[in-house]
Structure 1
C-alpha cells in the first residue's frame, strides 16, 4: 500500500516537471487523418548518440527520391484533359495521313506491276513463237550443195536458127521492141547454153507483157459461187481458236500491200496485232511486226483500210481507228444505239455484236439495236471520223446467222458456223435497199468458223475456222454498169 502511494506521488511530480518541458504537435498523416504527437526530452541524455546518423541520412535520401517522384506525377496530373485530347487528335490525323499515303503508293505500284506483267506476257508469247520458228529452221533439211551440171546441147550448128517468116505464130514477138524501143534487151544475158536462136525465142516468150494494171478488171457483181477452203496456217495455242486476219486493200507506207495482219481474240485483254511480210511468212508463223493496241479489242470484227486498223473497244460500243504508221489512236466514236458485249451477237457467240468490213464502196459496220429488235442493221461509216453516213435495216435476225460479209455494197450471211456443208442464205443490196433469200454452198472444213470477211486486196473470202486461217475463191456475176 505504501508502495502504490509512493508511486503515485512520484508520477505526479514527474508529470508536473514534464508538463514544463513537453511539447504537443498536431497534423494530418499521409492518409489524411488527424494525428497528435508529444515530444518529451530525455531526462538522462543530453543528446542522442551518433550511431543513428547513417539511418537518418538514408531516410533523407529516400524522402528526396519520393519527393522527386511526387513532383513528376504532380506535373503530369496538371496537364489539362483538353490538351490530352488535342494531342490524341493530332496523332490520329498524322497516322491517317501516313496510311493514306501508303495506300496510294501501294495502288500505284499495283498498277505498274499489272502493266509490267502484260508486257512480260507479250514478250513471252513472242519468244515462244521465235523459239518454234527456230526449231522449224533447225529441223528443215539443208539443200544439196553439189554443183548443178549444165545440160548439154548438140553443137552441130552454131549459127543462129531463126524461123522463117510466117512459119511461126509467135514470130511477131521476136521483133517487137520493148517499151523503150530497144529490142536488144530481149536476149537473156544469163543464158549460156545452146544456140542463139533458141535463146532469142525463149527471151521473147518471157517478155510477153502482163495486162495493164490500170485497166479496171475488178468489176462488181452479185456473188455466184464460193470455192473450197484453202488452209494457210494453224494457230499454235489456245489463244488462236478464234481470231481475225486481214490485208489492207489500200496499204499506206511503211507497210506494203502484201502485208498480212493477225489478231488472236481469246482472252480478256486482247491487244497484240501481229504483222507478216506476206502470205508465205504467215504460213511459217514468223511475224515481222508486233504492235500493242492502246485499248483492248472485242471479238473478231476488226478490219484494215488505208493504213488504219478499225476495231470495237472491249465492253463498249466505241469504235477506234488506230493509225498503224504513227501507232496511235487517230479517231474514236460510239456507234449510236449499237448493242455490245453479247446483246446482239452472231449465232456462234463470241461477243460479235459489231462486225466491221471493207469493200469497193468503203467502210461498213454490221450490228443491231434495241429499236431494230435484233435485226441486222448496216451502216456505212466515214473512214476518217467514223461518223455514220447512212444506215439500212434488214429483216433478218442477227442471232439467226453465223456470220456476214459485204462485197460491192451487198451483204451476205452464212447460215451455220459448225455444219461442214452449209449455205450463204441471205443477200441485202444497199443500192436498192432490198433483201432476198439465196442458196450458195459454203464449207466449214474445221467445224467452227468464227470469222468470215471479204478481202478486197485479194478478192477472196478470209475466214478463221477452229484454229485455221483459210481463204475461199469467189465468183461474181456479170459486171454492173453504173
Structure 2
C-alpha cells in the first residue's frame, strides 16, 4: 500500500512538471489557413531528429504565399510550394484569359493604327492635289478686263432708225421686226436695246460671235491627255485589275449609256456586269450580270456593235459573245499570237492579246515568235474575227506598260506605276510609220492595268489599282509629220 501511494505521488509530480512545460501556439499552414498546435516536451528525448517548430512552420507558410504572388506576376506555369493543383490550374486559367484579352486589345490598336495611317496617306494625297491645283490657278494668267466705256448719250439724242454711234458693228447681231424696214420706230423700244448698258451689248456680241472650239472634232493625232477623273473604287481584291468599257454602236436591248465592267483577278473570269449609266456604276448598282460561257483571260476585252470581244483563257482563241442572245456568235484563233505570258505588257497579267475599237473598227495588238516580241497590229473583221491586214512595229511589247488605238494609230504608255510617265510611241497604220513622242500621262494610283479608247465619248478609259478612271483627250485636226 505504501508502495502504491509512492508511485501515485511520483506520477502527479511528473504530470505537474509536464504541464509547466506544455505550450499552445497558432500559425498559418501551407495553404494559408490558421492552425492551432499543443505541444508537450518528451521526458525521454532531449531533441527531435528533424528541425521544426512554430517559427519554422510560419516561415514555410509565408514562403508559400510569396511563391503564389511571384507566379501570378511572372505568369509561370509551375505550382509553388504549399499551393494545390486545383488552385494552380485556376490561377493559370485566369492569367491566360487576361493575356488573351490584352492580346486582343493590342491587335485592335494595331488595326486602328493601320487604318489611321491609310487615312493619313489619302489626306496627304488630297492636300498635294489641292496644292497643285492652287499653284496652277496662281500661274494661270488673268482674263482680259473689259474696257470701261463712257455712258451712252440720252435716248432722245439718238436717231430713231439706227443705234447710237459705236453700235454699227453690232447691228447685224440684233434681230429687228419687219415693221422696222418701213420706218416704224416702235420696234426700237425693246428694253435691252434702249436701256441696256454698252458693256452688256459688247459681252453679248462677244458670246455670239466667238464659237466654242471643238477639240474632239475630226480624227487627228493625239495632242494631250488630261488629269484622271475617278469614277469608282472596286469593292474587293478581285477588282485590283479589270476592264471597263462602253459600246460605241450599241444594239438593243442596251443603249449608248450602258457601261460594262469585268474584274480580272483570279482564274475563273466569267462575270460581266452591266450598268444603266455612269451614275449607277459609281454607286455600284449593276442592272445586269452575265456569265460568259468561256473563261476570259486578262484585261484585253472590248465592246463593239452589241458584242463582247475577248481572249479565251489559256489560248490564242478570240471569242465574239453576243449580248442580246447571251451566246457565242463567233470564235477564231489569232494566227501565231503569243498567249498566257509569252508576250505581255511590262506589268504582266497575261496581257498577250489586247483588243480595242476606234473610228477604223476592231483591232488586236499582240506579238508573235516571228516578230521576236515586237508589237503586231491586226485589223479584224468584227463579224467573223478574220484578220484583214497586219502591221509589224519596231517597239517591243514587254517594254511598254499598255497601248490603245485612236484613228488607226497605236499609242503606247511607257510605265504602269510611275505617277508621271509618258505616252512614248505612235505607229500610224495609214503610213506604216512609227515615231517616238512625249505626251504626259498620269498613273494616279500607281498600277494601271488597262487603257482603252472610248469612241463614244472620245476619252481614255483606264483601270488603276482598284480604281476606274477616265481621261479627257485633245486631238489635232491635222496630222503632224
By the TM > 0.5 criterion, same fold? yes
Within a 5 Å distance, the mapping from 1:60-459 to structure 2 comes to 218-459=217-458
Q: By how many angstroms is 1:370 displaced?
A: 0.4
- Quote the Cα distance in structure 2 between the aligned partners of 1:436 and 1:377: 15
The answer on whether the counterparts of 1:165 and 1:171 sit within 8 Å (CA) in structure 2 is no
Q: By how many angstroms is 1:477 displaced?
A: 1.2
The answer on whether the counterparts of 2:343 and 2:367 sit within 8 Å (CA) in structure 1 is yes
Segments of 4+ moved more than 3 angstroms: 164-176, 215-218
Secondary structure in structure 1 of the residue aligned to 2:235: coil
CA displacement 1:164-211 (0-9 Å, x = unmatched):
9979989989999xxxxxxxxxxxxxxxxxxxx99xxxxxx9xx9xxx
- Quote the Cα distance in structure 1 between the aligned partners of 2:176 and 2:287: 45
Aligned length: 290
Secondary structure in structure 1 of the residue aligned to 2:280: helix
After TM superposition, the score normalised by the length of structure 1 is 0.56
Q: By how many angstroms is 1:218 displaced?
A: 3.4
The answer on whether the counterparts of 1:419 and 1:447 sit within 8 Å (CA) in structure 2 is yes
CA displacement 1:85-139 (0-9 Å, x = unmatched):
xxxxxxxxxxxxxxxxxxxxxxxxxxxxxxxxxxxxxxxxxxxxxxxxxxxxxxx
- Quote the Cα distance in structure 2 between the aligned partners of 1:291 and 1:172: 55
Q: By how many angstroms is 1:267 displaced?
A: 1.0
- Quote the Cα distance in structure 2 between the aligned partners of 1:254 and 1:339: 35
CA displacement 1:323-353 (0-9 Å, x = unmatched):
0011110000000000000000000000000
- Quote the Cα distance in structure 1 between the aligned partners of 2:392 and 2:472: 29
Structure 1 unaligned runs (5+)? 1-163, 177-196, 199-204, 209-214
Pairwise CA RMSD = 3.0
The answer on whether the counterparts of 2:248 and 2:304 sit within 8 Å (CA) in structure 1 is yes
CA distance 1:174–1:434, change in 2 (3 Å): same
- Quote the Cα distance in structure 1 between the aligned partners of 2:215 and 2:229: 27
CA distance 1:165–1:424, change in 2 (3 Å): same
Q: By how many angstroms is 1:479 displaced?
A: 3.8
The answer on whether the counterparts of 2:365 and 2:378 sit within 8 Å (CA) in structure 1 is yes
- Quote the Cα distance in structure 1 between the aligned partners of 2:343 and 2:279: 36
- Quote the Cα distance in structure 1 between the aligned partners of 2:479 and 2:370: 34
The answer on whether the counterparts of 1:219 and 1:480 sit within 8 Å (CA) in structure 2 is no
Q: By how many angstroms is 1:478 displaced?
A: 1.7
Q: By how many angstroms is 1:312 displaced?
A: 0.2
CA distance 1:344–1:175, change in 2 (3 Å): farther
Q: By how many angstroms is 1:438 displaced?
A: 0.5
The answer on whether the counterparts of 2:215 and 2:476 sit within 8 Å (CA) in structure 1 is no
CA distance 1:373–1:282, change in 2 (3 Å): same
- Quote the Cα distance in structure 2 between the aligned partners of 1:427 and 1:476: 14
The answer on whether the counterparts of 2:260 and 2:273 sit within 8 Å (CA) in structure 1 is yes
- 1:466 matched to which residue of 2? 465
Structure 2 unaligned runs (5+)? 1-160, 178-190, 193-203, 208-213
CA displacement 1:407-439 (0-9 Å, x = unmatched):
000000000000000001100000000001011
- Quote the Cα distance in structure 2 between the aligned partners of 1:382 and 1:166: 63
- 1:476 matched to which residue of 2? 475
Secondary structure in structure 2 of the residue aligned to 1:280: helix
- Quote the Cα distance in structure 2 between the aligned partners of 1:271 and 1:301: 14
Secondary structure in structure 2 of the residue aligned to 1:294: coil
Secondary structure in structure 2 of the residue aligned to 1:270: coil
CA displacement 1:306-330 (0-9 Å, x = unmatched):
0000000000000000000111100
- Quote the Cα distance in structure 2 between the aligned partners of 1:367 and 1:386: 15
Secondary structure in structure 1 of the residue aligned to 2:445: coil
Secondary structure in structure 1 of the residue aligned to 2:285: coil
